Structure 1
Amino acid sequence: MARPKKWRKVCCLPKQNRYGPLMGGRMAEESINMTIDEYETIRLIDLEEFTQEDCAKQMNIARTTVQGIYNSARMKLADSLVNGKILLIKGGEYELCDGLEEFCRCGGCHKHRCAALLQQEREKR
């Protein structure tokens, strides 16, 4: 029997999910798909300057898994930049965290949930 997949905790979703060249008529088949969990490793390690160990704790996965995800994400970023391909960020095996994680520093969880609640309140009025 196969081991069940472990959902990766993600703090916040990207504000934009499509990146690419401003000029040129690249076709849709020349796009690269980066998963949300790959995006999260790039955000945590490169932007937030987490170690791979801290990133693993935040995402609730093994450090070796983080290393594999991170390497895959870096290859996709490089391919997009060097070859002018469209980068799409979507999918993956993830769940949004509740904002209570010890290492959560972006505040994105809380901000996004508060913004969603405010929007729901406005829609009720």
Structure 2
Amino acid sequence: MPRPQKCRKVCCLPQNSGFTPINGKELTAIVLTVDEYEAIRLIDKEGFSQEECGSYMRVARTTVQQIYATARKKMADALVDGLPLKIEGGNYRLCDGQEAYCGCGGCRKHRHRCGMQGQEENL
């Protein structure tokens, strides 16, 4: 029996839940999970190493490597084949903003970016 999956910590949900090609073909969308999106965001946009990403998402570096590889494959398929891409589902939990450092620039910045002003704490 395989081990149960750990929930992956995610800073906040993506602002866009999908993308469609300009040609707008009516084809089945490729589904990128929220945790795959978060791995792409942390590694490619924020510049985290896979080890830092794993520490932030609270999973092993090897797990991040697998999530990241799957996400890149899905994105490549969507781009090359002109398929719609939807971001939904996955095994994740949202950051509650209570940590001293949430991995995306600090909880103060996290709360500001995610629209939770007024809940600032003294850091």
Question: Scaled by the length of structure 2, what TM-score is found?
Answer: 0.82
3-state SS, counterpart of residue 104 of structure 2: coil
- What is the deviation of 1:22? 1.9
Correspondence list, 1:45-124, <5 A: 45-99=43-97, 100=99, 102=101, 103-105=103-105, 109-111=110-112, 112=114, 114=116
Aligned counterpart, 1:41:
39
Structure 2: which 5+ residue stretches go unaligned?
A: none
CA positional deviation for 1:54 = 0.3
Structure with the higher fraction of residues in helix conformation: 1
Evaluate the alpha carbon distance shift between residue 109 and residue 81 of structure 1 in structure 2; reply closer, same or farther with a 3 A threshold: same
1:11-46 C-alpha deviation (Å, 9 max, x unpaired) = 01110011021224x2242x1000000000000000
Does 2:7 match 1:19?
Answer: no
Residue 95 of structure 1 aligns to a residue whose secondary structure is strand
- Residues 5-16 of structure 1: pairs in structure 2 closer than 5 A: 5-16=5-16
Inter-partner Cα distance in structure 2 for 1:101 and 1:38: 24
Q: Percent of pairs identical after alignment? A: 49
What is the number of residues matched between the two proteins?
114
Cα separation, partners in 2 of 1:72 and 1:2, compared to 1, 3 Å: closer
For 1:65-98, what per-residue CA distance to the aligned partner results, in whole angstroms no more than 9, with x for missing partners?
0000000000011111111000000000000012
Amino acid at match of 1:20: T
Which runs of structure 1 show a deviation greater than 4 angstroms over 4 or more consecutive aligned residues? 106-109
**In 2, distance between residues paired with 1:3 and 1:81?**
33
1-structure distance, mates of 2:20, 2:56: 29
Structure 1: any 5+ residue segments left out of the alignment?
118-125
CA distance in 2: counterparts of 1:76 and 1:109, whole angstroms: 28
How big is the shift at 1:4? Answer: 3.0
Task: Give the stretch that moved more between structures: 1-10 or 97-106.
Answer: 97-106
